[in-house]
Amino acid sequence: DSNSPAIAAAVIEAGGLPKLLGIAKDNHDSLNEKIDLASSCDLIITSAGVSKGDYDIVKDFINNQGEIQFWSVKMRPAKPIAFGWINTNNETRIPIIGLPGNPVSAMIAFEKFGRPAILKMRGIDDYSRFVIEAILDDPIDNHDGRRVCARGIVKKTEKDYHVSLTGSQQSNLLTSMSKANGLIVCPEDTKRLEVGSLVRVEMINWTQ
C-alpha cells in the first residue's frame, strides 16, 4: 500500500490532518465499516474502486449512501475520479473524493482535486501552484484527446528554464512522481508537444 502514506503526506502538505482507516475489502459491508470510522471527519478520501471493473464498488456505494456530483474527468492520468456526498450513520453529510487506484493517478487526482478542496475548506481561495514556462526537452504525445499532466524535472539554465520527463509516464510507476518537481500540461486539443516547445509547468516541488 503506497497510496495511503503518499496521500496522507499530501493531505498534511495541504494543511489537513489525515486519519488512516486501513484497507477495505471489495464489498459494501467492509467499505461501510471504514466509512463509519470517518463520521467525525470533514472530508473522506478513498483510493481505487471508482473505475468500471467488477470490483469497483466505490462509485455505486456513494450513490447508494449519498450522491455523486461528478465521475470521470478528461485528463491523464487520473480519469476515473469520483466526487460526492456520503450520509453517515449519525446523519452527518460528508464530502467524499474517490481517487483512482494506480499510485500516480491517485497522487495526480489528489493534486488537482483533493488539495484545492482542502485549501478551500480552510478558507484559502488561492490554491493555484506556481507556474513557469519552460523549454521542453522530450516530446509528449497525447493520443486520446485528454489533458495530460506529464511528470517533469525543471532545471534553470543561465537564460531560461528547461523541463524533461522523469522517464516512463505509466501511472503505476512511483518514480515518475517521486523524481518530479513539476507537472507539464499538454492541453486536450494538442496531439503532440515537440522538443523545443514552450510549455506550461505547474510546480509541485520547487526549492528555487
The mean pLDDT value for 174-201 works out to: 96
pLDDT tops 70 at residue 123: yes
Residue 47 has pLDDT above 90, yes or no: yes
pLDDT band at 57 (very low <50, low <70, confident <90, very high): confident
User: Is the pLDDT score of 90 beyond 90?
Assistant: no
Rounded mean pLDDT of 80-99? 88
Is residue 9 pLDDT above 80, yes or no?
Answer: yes
Single-letter residue type at 19: K
Average pLDDT, the chain: 92
The answer to whether residues 3 and 110 touch, using CB atoms and an 8 Å cutoff, is no
Q: Rounded to an integer, what distance in angstroms lies between the CA atom of residue 70 and that of residue 68?
A: 6
State pTM to two decimals: 0.92
Residue 172: C-alpha distances to residues 5, 103, 104, 127 (Å): 16, 6, 6, 27
